Amino acid sequence: MELQVASFITAGLLIVIGLYGVFFVDNVIKKIIALSAMGNGVNLVLIAMGYNGGVVPIKLPNMPFEVFASKSAYPLPQALVLTNIVIEASMLAIMLALSMVLYKKYKTLKASVILKED
């Protein structure tokens, strides 16, 4: 199986598992984990789209331009993924902090119980 196809299949599975966790799981921590899995699936899609043959996007002096242009990976998706990783890490920290506040207030992390009490 080609590497890009396997990456897209894995990304699709991550996104579907994440969607299932967000909509059908009752625990807040598990919902946060599901959101993280969805983010990783999107990152994998971006990386797979930028993959173009396995050569790093740095032109070496002895490399012909045609080989560089046809085989190098696109640097823009890699930059987007790095930005998304940083944003996702900060969002994860905020979501975990909010879940701690919810637990201190309601003494449970079940979303159905938390939503019924307000």
Task: Decide if 114 contacts 102 (C-beta within 8 A).
Answer: yes
Percent of the chain with pLDDT over 70: 98
Residue 40's pLDDT band (cuts 50, 70, 90): very high
H helical segments located in 25-109: 28-50, 65-71, 75-106
pLDDT score, position 118: 62
pLDDT score, position 1: 65
Mean pLDDT of the chain: 90
pLDDT above 90 (res 104): yes
pLDDT score, position 68: 81
CA-CA-CA-CA torsion sign (24, 28, 34, 39): positive
Average pLDDT over every residue of 45-74: 82
Report yes or no on whether pTM surpasses 0.85. no
Length of the chain as a residue count: 118
61/23: higher pLDDT: 23
pLDDT score, position 43: 94
The architecture CATH gives domain 1-115: Orthogonal Bundle (1.10)
3/112: higher pLDDT: 112
Task: Decide if 68 contacts 74 (C-beta within 8 A).
Answer: no
